[in-house]
Structure 1
Amino acid sequence: MINYKHSFLVVLLLTIFFFSNAQESIYKHYGVDEGLPSSEIYDVYQGKDGNIWFATDKGLSLYNGYEFKNFDINDGLPGNVVLRFYPQTNGQIWCYTYHNQALFYFNETFDGFTAYKYNNRLQKEFSPSSIIKSCFIDETNTIHIGGTNINGELLISKDGEVTKKTY
């Protein structure tokens, strides 16, 4: 004897399953074949203009929704292994390069890259295993830096004076 309630339930569940899987995914995969310089992405930042920046082991990549534009040391980066983005309230986006232990920045309205003028002081204060995890520019243009193997907070004033705060 056929149980019509069970048959109806099975048909209903199969119909729901079929239509729920019919939707297209809203995600799109991008990789080296689509224009990224590397498959190693360390950080992602979306600017106010909608463009998306990728920090990779082969420089920075800018995606405008249609194509990628890639930047490396030939375009003014102090190093190719870019680990992080640190957006600031003044419209600058600061970045950190791993092997050179150097900071640089670019403006929200992109017009090129600028190396931090006191990178040499950073490198003197850092051990080879130091990695910047946070970077903040305050209202006096003092840069506050924290991270792995930094032992507290490193402050560098706009005049290059270095101060350490240990906690």
Structure 2
Amino acid sequence: MKRITFFILCLLVPVCLTAISNGFRFRHFSVENGLSSNSVRSIMQDKYGFLWFGTDEGLNRYDGTAVKLYRLTPQEPDRYISFLYDLQNEIWIGTDGGLYRYDYETEAIVPFRFATANRVTIKTTVNHITEDKDNNLWFSTIGQGVFKYNRAKHVLEQYEFKSANDLVASVFVDSENQIWAITNWGSTPVFKLNKADNKFEPFQLTYPSGKHSSNALVMLEDSEHTLWLGTWESGLQKIDKYSGR
């Protein structure tokens, strides 16, 4: 019996040592390594393999060796970057004062100046950017609701959320190209775009426990087409996207 036990231990020790040796190695990046700020709010990897960091003081690109700084504008060096979205030949940059675009060919960052038919421009914090299957871009903001940008027609459209004080945490596009808006204010955390009327309508959720959170932050659809709603201080909520249960 002792021989058998010893034999098993001999087999397990190399496995344990291998597991220990394959542990994660962590490297710390800060202003001492070239970052423009120690506050990093957004991280993205582009199609070329570069890592991009949105900081409180500009856009940083890391090529595996060094960090290169891109300022949004010389007049606004301290504007913080809240979200990055890679799209074909440009990066869309959400900030605390509107949108910017980085052009790969020119390496220039230009502000997004388009306005709606009512001459409304995006001038507040853009906290999320996504694209639907019709190549429209969607922007959620803090204080201005949601914007849709038709890239083909260069048309900007605003969707207001008065019941949520226009505080929209994110926009989600599901597998059926349905657009969802996630809010963190008011009694209704989820809105669904009615494409026939082109309006976001409250999506009624059913909570078996009776407890729910109006402070929703993010949404995801899994492989079984179930929606998952991440909330502030109320955990996760699993939702049937047809019934709301």
TM-score, normalised with respect to structure 2: 0.50
Unpaired segments of 5 or more residues in structure 2? 160-197, 201-245
CA distance in 2, matches of 1:28, 1:149: 38
User: Given the superposition, is the C-alpha separation of residues 93 and 77 from structure 1 closer, same or farther in structure 2, using an over 3 Å criterion?
Assistant: farther
Q: Answer yes or no: is 1:114 the counterpart of 2:113.
A: no
Distance 1:45 1:15, change over 3 A: closer
* Whole-angstrom distance in 2 between the partners of 1:86 and 1:16: 41
* Offset at residue 131 of structure 1 (A): 4.1
Range with bigger deviation, 64-73 or 113-122: 113-122
Which residue matches 2:139? 145
Q: CA 1:112–1:59 in 2, change beyond 3 Å: closer, same or farther?
A: same
For residues 137 and 84 of structure 2, what CA distance do their matches in structure 1 show? 15
- The counterpart of 1:134, out of the listed 121, 124, 129, is 129
Q: Aligned pair 1:71/2:70, yes or no? A: yes
Percent of aligned pairs with the same residue?
16
Aligned residues: 155
CA distance in 2, matches of 1:15, 1:143: 52
Identify the residue that residue 211 of structure 2 maps to in structure 1: none
Deviations 1:24-71 (A, max 9, x none): 74x552411322223332222222222211111222101112100123
8 Å CA contact 2:53–2:59 kept in 1: the answer is yes
Q: Counterparts of 1:96 and 1:58 in 2: how far apart (Å)?
A: 13
Letter in 1 for 2:60: S
Q: Which residue of 2 aligns with 1:97?
A: 95
- How far the C-alpha of 1:134 sits from its partner, in A, is 2.4
The residue that corresponds to 2:147 in the other structure is 154
More strand by share: 2
Per the TM alignment, residue 103 of structure 1 is displaced from its structure 2 partner at its CA by 0.7
Deviations 1:67-122 (A, max 9, x none): 00123355576753101112234x22111111x2x111012335211011247722
- Name the SS of the counterpart of 2:94 in structure 1: strand
Q: Residues of 2 paired with 1:161 and 1:15: CA distance?
A: 61
Larger Rg: 1
CA 1:161 to 1:85, structure 2 compared with 1: closer, same or farther past 3 Å?
closer
**TM-score of the superposed pair, with normalisation by structure 1:** 0.69
